[in-house]
Every structure is written in structure tokens, then in C-alpha cells.
Amino acid sequence: MLMNKEMFLKALELLSDRIIDSKELLNDLDTQIGDSDHGSNMTRGFTEAKKKIDMVKDKDFSTILKTIAMTLISTVGGASGPLYGTAFLKASMSVKDREVLVGEDFIKIHENVISGIKQRGHAERGHKTMLDAIIPAYEAFKESIEAGEDLKIASQKATDAAKEGMEYTKGIKAIKGRASFLGDRSIGHVDPGATSSFIIINAINDVIKE
Ligand code: ADP
Ligand code: MG
Ligand code: MG
């Protein structure tokens, strides 16, 4: 099992649509511990990204991901704009010259995405951010691929781990981002960025498992 260009484009379209459909949910989560705009920020970015993807869809994986990165950086705003922008930029750098993506490519993408987000936001796992969904997904994915399991199985395990990580953010105190201003009052609410990261991982999985 691998991801070809057609699946790649489908995954990008689906994840954009899912983010746009989740605008209210993400705004509501951000209302609890932030400034109510995470859904609006992400919807603005991915609406524009969808148009740009269509313009570069005949190009290689790296160019397409870089186009999304630039679009997110210039349109999303907030803390999440540069962070997701960096994530897509790091992903683009991980797939140079690739014509299909296999398990090892996704491991590399995860590793570069995580190091990029950490570098930019100085957050670690457990700080109640998007990393609390992405890092568990990476670990479950890598373990599965290294055990010789198929991409479909690894991707499902990554998605389950991302969901668990997202839910885990409800019980912890925010150390980074706007929610950290609330201190202990941030406990009891799921992190909006961990939720958008889960939505993205879940959409990619839905294309892989088809
Ligand atoms: P803002 O907080 O500027 O309004 P958004 O609401 O769009 O930006 O995004 C908030 C999300 O960004 C948080 O829920 C969190 O997951 C993520 N985030 C904030 N700061 C950081 C950081 N330093 N590192 C990683 N993720 C972060
Ligand atoms: Mg916000
Ligand atoms: Mg804001």
C-alpha cells in the first residue's frame, strides 16, 4: 500500500473541506480557552489553500505542499498560521523528488513536521497544543511501520492515537499559547489546535483506508 498522486490530491482536498466544515466546532473550543477564532483562522487558510492547490495540482508533491504552506502563512494569522505553515513547509521538504509516498516517507514527514513546530513554538508534548495530537500519532505510526505493518494499519493506529492525544488535552493545563494565560482554568477543555490536527490526520486516514 502506498499513496499515489491522485490519493495525495484527494487527501489535501478532504482535509481542507473537513477543516472548513469544522469552523464552528473549532471556534467554540477556542471560545472556552482562547479568543474564539481558531475555526475562522483555519477556514480562511484552507479555503484559500484549496484554490491554490487547484492551480498547482500538476506539479510535484513538494511544490504543492510548499504552496499550501505559503498560503497558510499569509492567510491564517494567529499562533496557528505560522505553526501550520511551518508544518506544511517541513512536509514539503520531506518529499522532494518523491512520486509516491510509502510508510518511511510518512515517518520522515512526521519527524520534520514535529521538529518544525517545536522550533517555531517552543512547545513540548503535554503543553496542551497541536503537538499533543501529532506526537502520539507519529509514535504509533512509526511503531507500526517498523513492525512491518501496512500503511493502512499504521495510518489507522496513528489516527486513533491522535484522537486519544486530543482528548488527553482536556485534562491538562496549557503551558503554551493564549490558553496558558488562564493557568489552571484551561483544565477541562479540549485544545482547539489539537482538535484541528486530529481532523487533518483523520482526513488523510480516510483517504488511505478507502
Ligand atoms: P491564536 O491563539 O493566536 O488566536 P489560533 O486560535 O488560531 O491562534 O490557534 C490556537 C492553537 O494554536 C492552540 O489551540 C494550540 O494548539 C496552538 N498553539 C498555540 N501556541 C502554540 C505553540 N507555541 N506551539 C504549538 N502549538 C501552539
Ligand atoms: Mg484563537
Ligand atoms: Mg487569535
- Model confidence, pTM: 0.98
pLDDT (tens digit per residue) in 63-92: 999 999 999 999 998 999 999 999 999 999
The pair phi, psi for residue 85, each rounded to 5°, is: -60, -45
Task: Please answer whether residues 140 and 146 qualify as being in contact, where contact means their C-beta atoms are separated by less than 8 angstroms.
Answer: no
35 CA → ligand 2 middle, Å: 5
Domain ranges of the chain: 5-208
Ligand nearest to the CA of 78: 1
194 CA closest ligand 1 atom index? 16
**Whose C-alpha lies nearest to ligand 1, atom 3?**
78
Q: How far apart are CA 98 and CA 62, in angstroms?
A: 8
Torsion-angle region of residue 188: left (phi > 0), alpha (psi -120 to 50) or beta?
Answer: left
Mean residue pLDDT of the chain comes to 98
Residue 7: its pLDDT value, please?
98
34 CA → ligand 2 middle, Å: 5
- Interface confidence, given as ipTM, is 0.99
Task: Please answer whether residues 155 and 207 qualify as being in contact, where contact means their C-beta atoms are separated by less than 8 angstroms.
Answer: no
Per-residue burial over 12-34, b if 16 or more Cβ lie within 10 Å, else e, is bbbbbebbbebbebbbebbebbb
Ligand nearest to the CA of 117: 1
121 CA closest ligand 1 atom index? 23
CATH code for 5-208?
A: 1.25.40.340
29 CA closest ligand 1 atom index? 14
